[in-house]
Amino acid sequence: MTIKKILLPLFAACVILSFSACDQEGGDGSTSIFPSKFKVDIPSSLSNSIVQTAGLKSSVEDTLLGNEIYEHLNFFIAVGENSAELVEAIMYAIQLYNIENLNDLLYNSDDDGRVKHLTVTENAQYMNTSYEYMLIVTDYESESDNDGGYAMQVYWNNSPVQGIALLKPYNINRMDDNDLGEAMFKIEYSSAATEDYDELMIVSISKLPLPSAEIEPWALESMKMYVGKRGNVVDVFGNSNHPNAQFDPYASNAVGYNWAFVASGKTLENIGVAEVGLPFSDETADSRSVLIDDNSIYHVFEREISNYLEQEYGLSSNEYAKYLEGFLNNAKAPGFFDKYGFVQSESSPGAAYDELETRIAALRPFVPAQVSNLTIEFIR
C-alpha cells in the first residue's frame, strides 16, 4: 500500500462532509451531542511528513542522511494523526447538519454517488463498556453483504470525551477507495486524565492490500500507534508491519519486518527524540531490550549490509567496517529532531532534550507478532 493511497482517503474527509440529505436542512447552531475533539496533537518535529531541506544535511560525506533513516517514522505518525482528524471532520460535518435530531437518515453521497444509511442512537455497548451515543453509517445497497455494508461505527461519551471509531474506507467511498478492499481503521480516544496522561489516543489499521513485493517490498499492511499527552509533553510508540520487506536478497529467511519505535516530543519547543527498532514481523518478545536495543535500526542495517557485502562482493569485515561505521553514523540511537526534521544522532543537542531522553527509556513498542496479525471488526 503506497503512501498516497493511505493518505488520500484520510484527507478526503469522507462522504459525510458533502452529502445531500433527503429531508434535512442545515443545523441551527445549538449545542451538539458530538465531540469536537477526538485526537491528541503531536509535535510536527515527530509527525511532519514533508521533510524540509534544512533537515536533509549530513555533516559527514558518505553518511546515510538522518531524514532518510527516519522518513517512515514521520509518515507513520502522520497517518495515525490524519486517521483521527478524519473522525473529527466527520463529527464536525454531522454537527453542521444537526443530525442529532434524527435517528435514521438516508442520503446520497457526493463522492461515490451511492446511497448511505446513517443512524444515531443512545445508550450503546462496545466491548463491555457503556457509551452515551452510537453512530453507524452503512453503504445502503450493501447492507445484505457479509460486512453489512458498514462504513463507520462510532461510540462516545461527552463528559469527559471518550470514544472508539471504526472505519472501512471501501464502504465510505467506492469511487476513490475501491482498491482498499477489507482495510479497516480504528481510533480510540480519551480525554479522561490518568496517572500518566491527560489524554490518550490509539490508532490501528489492518488489512491494507499489498502490492507485488518486487514493486513495493516495504509496503505497509498493518500498524498500531499509541499517543499519550501530559502537559507540554507527548509520548508516542508503535509498530507497522511490512511482511515483504527484505534488505539482503541473499537472505531468504530474513523477510518481513516491523518498524517499531518509541518517541517523545515537546509541543511548545517543537522538538523530539526517537529510537527505532526493526524486529522481524513474527517476533513474539515484548521487552524493550529485544525490540529496540537488540534490533535497533543501526544493528539491523549493519547486519544486513554486512551480509550483502560479503555475499555479493566477497569482502571481509576488515575491508568494509570503517566505511560502514561512517555510513551508519546517523542511525545510532537516539535520533534528535526539531521543527525542520532530523538534527543529529546519539548525543543530545542540548538540555531541552534531557526530559525526552528519560521518557523514551521507559517506553516500548507493541509485540510485533500481534501487530502483524492485527484484526479490526465492526460490532453487529
Residue 211 lies in a domain: yes
Q: What confidence score (pLDDT) does residue 100 get?
A: 57
Q: Report helix, strand and coil shares of the chain as percent, to nearest 5.
A: 30, 30, 40
Q: What confidence score (pLDDT) does residue 105 get?
A: 86
Distance of alpha carbon 69 from alpha carbon 350, whole angstroms: 22
Distance of alpha carbon 222 from alpha carbon 81, whole angstroms: 15
Residue 379 lies in a domain: no
Residue 300 lies in a domain: yes
CB 43 within 8 A of CB 270: yes
Q: What confidence score (pLDDT) does residue 177 get?
A: 67
Our count of domains for the chain comes to 1
| Three-state DSSP class for residue 315 | coil
Residue 365 lies in a domain: yes
Burial class of residue 150, CB neighbours in 10 A (0-12, 13-18, 19+): buried
Dihedral sign, Cα of residue 135, residue 137, residue 142, residue 145:
negative
Residue 377 lies in a domain: no
Tens digit of each residue's pLDDT (9 = 90 or more) over 74-87: 777 888 787 777 77
Distance of alpha carbon 163 from alpha carbon 291, whole angstroms: 30
Element (H, E) at 372: helix 368-372
Residue 256 lies in a domain: yes
Residue 270 neighbours by CB distance under 10 Å: 16
Kindly list the averaged pLDDT for each block of 10 residues, start to end, along the chain of length 380.
46 38 44 76 74 38 72 80 76 63 80 90 92 94 95 93 93 81 93 94 94 90 95 96 93 93 96 96 98 96 92 88 89 93 94 97 98 95
Phi, psi dihedral angles at 362 (to 5 degrees)? -100, 0
Instruction: Note down the domain range covering 235.
Output: 3-372
Distance of alpha carbon 104 from alpha carbon 124, whole angstroms: 16
Tens digit of each residue's pLDDT (9 = 90 or more) over 304-332: 999 999 988 998 888 888 889 889 999 99
Residue 16 lies in a domain: yes
Residue 380 lies in a domain: no
Give residue for cell 434535512. 24
Annotate 11-35 with b (16+ C-beta within 10 A) or e (fewer): ebbbbbbebebeeeeeeeeeebbbb
